[in-house]
């Protein structure tokens, strides 16, 4: 399969097409699109990153990012939407990486829903980004087709652009424990009193929000409490195991 053509966007015509694409991906009315063409126009004109991916002249993905903190070192990727299963999202992120490196930036950050397995796998395994902070209900409740009225918990992921492109293979130590385990589709919380803690994710949180909102809510709270608590205590997410589980390393408690 050929790679999509990616280019920066500036005209209102192109940006309006992106706005409609985002509305389609997130399942909203065009008037309630996740990002308006006018905002993208302002960001693009101010020198930020606004790019679209095309297959046979058809827009199939887009990404919008702006300069972040620390100034001069970081790009914050606000929104990326793409057709699934065709490598469009990866092509956009690699293009964004080259754009950032050409401007002397060292890392790209973005937020994502920690419950969505495919996004966790893409961010941690395909790109090598790492969650740094748990953000509870970051945007408030969101009623689009993807979020389904759930609270918008997010993790802030950071992609170190100067790190080696192929991180070493992840090996689980014998003493790893499950802080959250997927037990017949529902979260089962356990101990986090170990050097390595695994946090399972549901098979498909987006479908679960439609079919069993109570189970979806239970997953939100279990991962919020466990992953959020560990990150707040200084633990580090070091990988994503078996396309299912965050792997978290805790900082050893000093012995008095």
Least confident of 96-110, 154-168, 221-235: 154-168
**Residue 127, C-beta contacts closer than 8 angstroms, at least 6 positions apart:** 90, 93, 159
Residue 124 confidence (pLDDT) above 80: yes
**Residue 217, C-beta contacts closer than 8 angstroms, at least 6 positions apart:** 150
Cα–Cα distance measured from residue 214 to residue 128, given in angstroms and rounded to the nearest whole number: 32
pLDDT category at 163 given cuts 50, 70, 90 is confident
How much of the chain, in percent, has pLDDT values that exceed 70? 93
Per-residue model confidence as pLDDT tens digits over 31-54: 999 999 999 999 999 999 999 999
Domains and CATH numbers, the chain: 5-160 (3.40.630.30), 177-249 (no CATH)
pTM: 0.91
pLDDT category at 254 given cuts 50, 70, 90 is low
> In the structure encoding, which two tokens stand for residue 51, read together?
């790019």
Cα–Cα distance measured from residue 209 to residue 202, given in angstroms and rounded to the nearest whole number: 11
* Per-residue pLDDT, 144: 63
* Per-residue pLDDT, 153: 96
How much of the chain, in percent, has pLDDT values that exceed 90? 84
Per-residue model confidence as pLDDT tens digits over 205-219: 999 999 999 999 999
Q: What ranges make up the beta strands (E) of 122-209? A: 130-135, 154-160, 177-183, 186-189, 196-200
Cα–Cα distance measured from residue 167 to residue 152, given in angstroms and rounded to the nearest whole number: 30
Residue 244 confidence (pLDDT) above 70: yes
């Amino acid at each position: 399969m050929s790679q999509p053509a990616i280019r920066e966007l500036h005209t209102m015509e192109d940006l309006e097409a992106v706005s409609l694409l985002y509305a389609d991906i997130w399942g909203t009315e065009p008037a309630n699109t996740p990002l308006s063409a006018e905002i993208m126009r302002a960001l693009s004109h101010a020198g930020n990153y606004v790019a679209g991916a095309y297959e046979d002249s058809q827009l199939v993905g887009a990404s919008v990012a702006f300069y972040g903190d620390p100034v001069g070192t970081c790009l914050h990727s606000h929104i990326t939407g793409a057709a699934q299963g065709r490598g469009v999202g990866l092509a956009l992120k690699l293009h964004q990486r080259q754009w950032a490196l050409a401007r002397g930036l060292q890392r790209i950050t973005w937020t994502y829903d920690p419950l969505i397995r495919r996004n966790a796998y893409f961010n941690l395994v395909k790109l090598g980004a790492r969650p740094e902070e748990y953000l509870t209900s970051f945007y408030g409740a969101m009623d689009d087709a993807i979020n389904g009225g759930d609270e918008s918990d997010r993790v802030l992921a950071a992609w170190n652009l100067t790190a080696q492109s192929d991180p070493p293979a992840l090996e689980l130590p014998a003493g790893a424990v499950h802080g959250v385990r997927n037990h017949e589709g529902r979260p089962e919380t356990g101990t986090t009193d170990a050097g390595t803690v695994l946090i399972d994710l549901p098979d498909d949180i987006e479908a679960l929000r439609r079919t069993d909102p109570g189970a979806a809510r239970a997953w939100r709270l279990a991962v919020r409490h466990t992953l959020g608590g560990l990150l707040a205590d200084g633990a580090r997410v070091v990988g994503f195991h078996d396309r299912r589980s965050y792997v978290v390393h805790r900082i050893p408690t000093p012995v008095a």
